Amino acid sequence: MTERSPATKKTDSMSATWSTTTIADAEAAVADVYGLDGAVKRLSSERDETFLFTRADGTDFVLKIANPAEDPAALEFQDGALLHLAAAAPAVPVPRLVPTKGGEPSHTLSTADGPRIMRLLTFLRGELQYRTPASEAQSHNVGRSLAELGLGLEDYNGRPPAGKLMWDISHTLDLAAVVDHVAPERRAQVEAVLGEFERSLPAITGLRRWQIIHNDFNPHNILLDPAAPTDVVGIIDFGDMVHAPLINDLAVAVSYHLATDNWAARTRAFLEGFLSARTLEPGEIELLPLLARSRLAMSIIIAEWRSARFPENRDYIMRNHVTAWQGLQNISDLTPAGLKTLVPNFPRPESCRW
């Protein structure tokens, strides 16, 4: 997405406002652009308008109408990734784009707020991970799914549009511009992470493996089989993809396993799952604790900054704040050596390519 850091842009796609699309207008747009009749139901979303569209025959789809500040190139980048995965890694469970009547992956609506891009995607049926009981078996399978997704994206040659994504760990230091929004009792610790990141920047930028990564592999974006809540059946929300070090994707995902009393066991299971499909290089392992701390610090800074700016949306913005802070406490002194004790024998993975 084109969400830029506060240091480089004052108005971004997360800050933009727009006129609400009525249910009747959404249904009419689907009928006109896709030739499909059905009913629309609004879903919660922060940066666009998202709806559940149920076709007349009962088949569900997800309808997304981008906000007018969205960069069309960013959505083309996302569409390219989904099309690439459909061809290169069909076993990876991601949404499929539904073509318009003209065979296009999206359509631009003319609205009072300006052009807005509409897309229709297949609906993946499953339970969001955060609503299911956590277990080590689940963490293992989620870790493997991330590795498989990364392998599917490894050869995707699309590039995100110019600009910095606020949620890109590579640009953690940009958040120093708004760190004063963090409450005093938390500020010193997040500032310490920013300092650690700055000292390690040469090693981070020198990592060998860079590729397109999902960059938001969290329990709100992972669907599990309700009958077997250890089995991943869907991966959604490709709006935060970036070209970045591969290990950043793992750091993002690991950060959501760190807020419980059994975080060490869950993290071990997650890493073992990832490593069952893909290796990690020594330099990546060395940086993983810092990058996970950086992601957690980012979550705290961005949430406190944005909730102050948009108090009406505070509940949504702050939904991960408590767990991010707890996770940061749990790994505040985790070293690379300590991480290696969690998974002492990094296994050679089986081939996992399509």
Q: Tell me, yes or no, whether 110 and 155 share the same domain.
A: no
d(CA 296, CA 212): 21
Question: In angstroms, how far is CA 187 from the centroid of its own chain?
Answer: 25
Q: Tell me, yes or no, whether 61 and 81 share the same domain.
A: yes
Structure tokens at 230: 């250890």
- pLDDT(18) > 90: no
**Do residues 210 and 245 touch, judged by C-beta distance below 8 A?**
yes
- Look at residue 141 in the predicted model and tell me its pLDDT: 98
Q: Tell me, yes or no, whether 141 and 114 share the same domain.
A: no
The per-residue pLDDT for range 44-77, each reduced to its tens digit, is 877 789 999 999 999 999 999 999 988 899 999 9
Q: Tell me, yes or no, whether 65 and 156 share the same domain.
A: no
Residue 260: which CATH number? Answer: 3.90.1200.10
Does any domain span residue 349? Answer: no
Does any domain span residue 8? Answer: no
Closest CA to 266 of 157, 89, 142: 142
The domain of 270 spans 127-342
Does any domain span residue 161? Answer: yes
d(CA 232, CA 276): 15
Q: Tell me, yes or no, whether 175 and 75 share the same domain.
A: no
Residue 112: which CATH number? Answer: 3.30.200.20
DSSP assigned state of 97? B
Does any domain span residue 5? Answer: no
Q: Which of 103, 122, 141 is the last residue of a domain?
A: 122
The per-residue pLDDT for range 297-353, each reduced to its tens digit, is 999 999 999 999 999 888 888 988 999 999 999 999 999 989 888 887 654 444 433
Closest CA to 5 of 250, 223, 172: 172
Q: Tell me, yes or no, whether 85 and 131 share the same domain.
A: no
Count how many domains the chain has.
2
Q: Which of 122, 155, 174 is the last residue of a domain?
A: 122
Does any domain span residue 137? Answer: yes
Q: 192 versus 162: which is more confidently predicted?
A: 192
Structural element, H or E, at residue 108: strand 107-111
Q: Among the listed ranges 84-88, 93-97, 194-198, 259-263, which one has the minimum average pLDDT value?
A: 259-263
Q: Tell me, yes or no, whether 66 and 27 share the same domain.
A: yes
Q: Tell me, yes or no, whether 174 and 53 share the same domain.
A: no
